[in-house]
Chain A
Amino acid sequence: AQSVTQLGSHVSVSEGALVLLRCNYSSSVPPYLFWYVQYPNQGLQLLLKYTTGATLVKGINGFEAEFKKSETSFHLTKPSAHMSDAAEYFCAVTLGGSQGNLIFGKGTKLSVKP
Chain B
Amino acid sequence: NAGVTQTPKFQVLKTGQSMTLQCAQDMNHEYMSWYRQDPGMGLRLIHYSVGAGITDQGEVPNGYNVSRSTTEDFPLRLLSAAPSQTSVYFCASSQKMGASPLHFGNGTRLTVT
A residues contacting B by CB (< 8 A) are 9, 32, 34, 36, 41-46, 49, 51, 90, 94, 96-107
Contact = CB atoms under 8 A, between A and B. Distances in A.
A43 B106 contact: yes
A101 B45 contact: yes
B105 interface: yes
Interface range on chain B: under 10, 10 to 19, 20 to 34, or 35 or more?
A: 20 to 34
Interface of B: 4, 33, 35, 40-45, 48, 58, 90, 92, 96-99, 101-102, 104-107
Nearest to B102: A102
A90 B99 contact: no
Contact of A49 (B42, B45, B101): B101
Contacts of B41: 106
B67 to A, nearest CB: 18
A94 B42 contact: no
Highest count of chain B CB atoms <10 Å: which of A34, A45, A90, A101? A101
B42 A105 contact: yes
A9 B41 CA distance: 10
Nearest to B41: A106
A91 B48 CA distance: 20
A100 B99 CA distance: 8
A97 B98 contact: yes
Contacts of B98: 32, 94, 96-101
A101 B42 contact: no
A51 B104 contact: no
Contact of B90 (A9, A44, A96, A98): A44
A41 B6 CA distance: 13
Given A42-B106, A43-B104, A106 B45 contact: no
B97 A34 contact: no
